[in-house]
Amino acid sequence: MERENQFIGQSGAFLDAVERASRAAPLRRPVLVIGERGTGKELIAERLHRLSTRWDEPLVTMNCAALPETLIEAELFGHEAGAFTGATKMREGRFEEADKGTLFLDELATLSTGAQERLLRAVEYGEVTRIGSSRPRRVDVRIVAATNENLPRMAQEGRFRADLLDRLSFEVITLPPLRVRQGDVGVLADYFGRRMAAELEWDRWPGFAEHVEAQLEDHLWPGNVRELRNVVERAVYRWDDAANPIGHVQFDPFDSPWLPDAEPRLVSGPAPSSQQAPAPERVAGPDFDSIADLRGAVDAHERAIVEHALGRHRWNQRQTAKALGLSYDQLRHCIKKHALTADTGESDEKDRT
């Protein structure tokens, strides 16, 4: 299965953003794409280019945050030989490379004041001047820029040129975060899961266990679609039982009981005894004031713990019972009590072997 980028989703907010990009694509005007990290700003930029009359011309991408401030202008506008130390030969900038095509400027808000001034002239007059040259060059470039910053606020605070913002904001496409895209988490998770299963050459896609589906839906996804893809693909490749639904998912890949401290402390003298070990950090508990049904709350908590442990141990009930400090019969009682299912018959066979 090809791993090319695709638009996957069915929520109204997402489809509205895609439709707006499709309508703006044929125009030669600049477009700003706003969104949190991982929402697909690069995909929108590519769509704007592929659906335009410039589709067979270059699509040049530049990450404005990836270069030091001293090199951004040289990258954008090029330079002549000898223009500065290290400039041993002439080099075209990204504007000239994108002539007759599209220039995608990612992380636009990180541009320096000097680069903003030169970019303003390029957008306004269609001319760029290489560093070290006095002769402007005409370019025909469609600008698409992206950021996760609030540019109007930055303009009010004097951190971004208001006149440049005016010229770049003919159309502004704001991408919704994944947490508000109703119904899209399941669709995306299934897509990424199937793609990973095909990469692993599984015979079939077993899907996700119900409790994993619920965990995916409840997660806030601060990293949006990119985070979801990593979480799902990691869960699939770690699951070594292709015949049964994916029963465990880990959202934080760095979560480990052996994670080292950020700043290890060097202690002189004898090692502290176990009685002198530092107390564990206190974790915020549930909101007890909101509990109106004690038995229901306890049962829900118990079910969540057992589901997680079963998934972590791939529904091997012997190992799960040992990890939870239960007998095998006690665990079986919990499974029956909460009606938990994940092909338990096959798990029983594993337990008896």
Mean pLDDT of 226-251: 94
Mean pLDDT of 228-250: 94
- Highest CATH level, class, for 182-255+295-352: mainly alpha
Q: 């440049």: which residue's tokens?
A: 164
Query: Which residue has better confidence, 85 or 12?
Result: 12
Residue intervals in the chain for CATH 3.40.50.300: 12-176
Residue type, 39: T
Q: Is pLDDT of 350 > 70?
A: no
Residue intervals in the chain for CATH 1.10.8.60: 182-255+295-352
Query: Furthest-apart CA pair in the chain: how many Å?
Result: 84
**Quick one: pLDDT at residue 263?**
58
> Is-contact 69 24, C-beta < 8 A?
no
Torsion angles phi and psi, residue 286, rounded to 5? -70, 165
Torsion angles phi and psi, residue 333, rounded to 5? -65, -40
Q: Whole-angstrom Cα distance, residue 299 to residue 287?
A: 16
CA angle 197, 200, 204 (to 5 degrees): 45
Structure tokens at 184: 């899209």
pLDDT category at 296 given cuts 50, 70, 90 is confident
Residue type, 158: G
**Quick one: pLDDT at residue 349?**
43
Per-range mean pLDDT, top range of 15-24, 290-299, 341-350: 15-24
pLDDT category at 104 given cuts 50, 70, 90 is very high
Domain 12-176 annotated CATH 1.20.1640.10:
no
**Quick one: pLDDT at residue 88?**
74
| Region of residue 224 (phi > 0: left; psi between -120 and 50: alpha; otherwise: beta) | left
pLDDT category at 311 given cuts 50, 70, 90 is confident
For residue 344, give the nearest of 305, 317, 304 by alpha carbon.
317
pLDDT category at 5 given cuts 50, 70, 90 is low
Of 19-28, 258-267, 328-337, where does mean pLDDT reach its minimum? Answer: 258-267
Q: Is pLDDT of 210 > 50?
A: yes
Q: Is pLDDT of 54 > 90?
A: yes
